[in-house]
Structure 1
Amino acid sequence: MERLDRTGTHRAQFDKNRKKIYATQSVCGICGEPVDFHYKFPHPLSPTIDHIIPVAKGGHPSDIDNLQLAHFRCNRQKSDKLAKVVFVEDRDIGNNNLPLSCDWLAYKEERSL
């Protein structure tokens, strides 16, 4: 199946929003660490755009509210998973500040259908 943010009708808007995010954000939305824009793909710490709600789970492919800056490795580890919000000492932990120590390969998503 074709991804609309890569080749479809949302490509132009995705590119515009990617440039906005690269210009305005400097911290990985997944691990919370700074992103160094000197690294280039395929370096694990290179900057990339993460869909907060993955397109495979119904997330919008180009809406800026569904996009965040991420390290390449963090985005790959998260893959198409959704993060469950956890409350720790009055601090929200969600997609925007997930700990890097999470083992995404062993992660099992809870389904509430």
Structure 2
Amino acid sequence: MAKRWDGRPYRRLTAEVRRLGDPCWLCGHDIDLTLDPRSPWSFTVDHVTPLSRGGDLLDPANARSAHRRCNSSKGNRVTPRAVGPTSRRW
């Protein structure tokens, strides 16, 4: 049986990751949980090992908080794209 994105176990995992309140694991900035889900800066769950590369949809160890934009730019890479040195002033 295929695992589903719209099932109760996935919604539970998303709620658990969201409840942690962690910053985006890709850029390090805080995530505003009040934003509309369609906003590029809204909360999403990113899978460290992409599902297309064998990652588990429901494994909490594979799930991290991310901005929608950061998650989309990562694509199905296992490691985030290097963006060069960042300022410590953020």
TM-score, structure 2 as length reference: 0.80
Q: Name structure 1 gaps, 5 residues minimum.
A: 84-94, 103-113
- The reply to whether residue 72 of structure 1 matches residue 71 of structure 2 is no
Shift of 1:40: 1.3
Q: Name structure 2 gaps, 5 residues minimum.
A: 85-90
Give me the identity figure in percent.
24
SS of the equivalent of 1:40 reads coil
Cα RMSD (Å) = 2.0
Q: State the match for 2:53 in structure 1.
A: 57
Partner Cα distance (1:20, 1:46) in 2: 16
Moved over 3 A (4+): none
TM-score, structure 1 as length reference: 0.65
Larger radius of gyration: 1
How many residues end up aligned between the 2 structures? 83
Shift of 1:42: 1.3
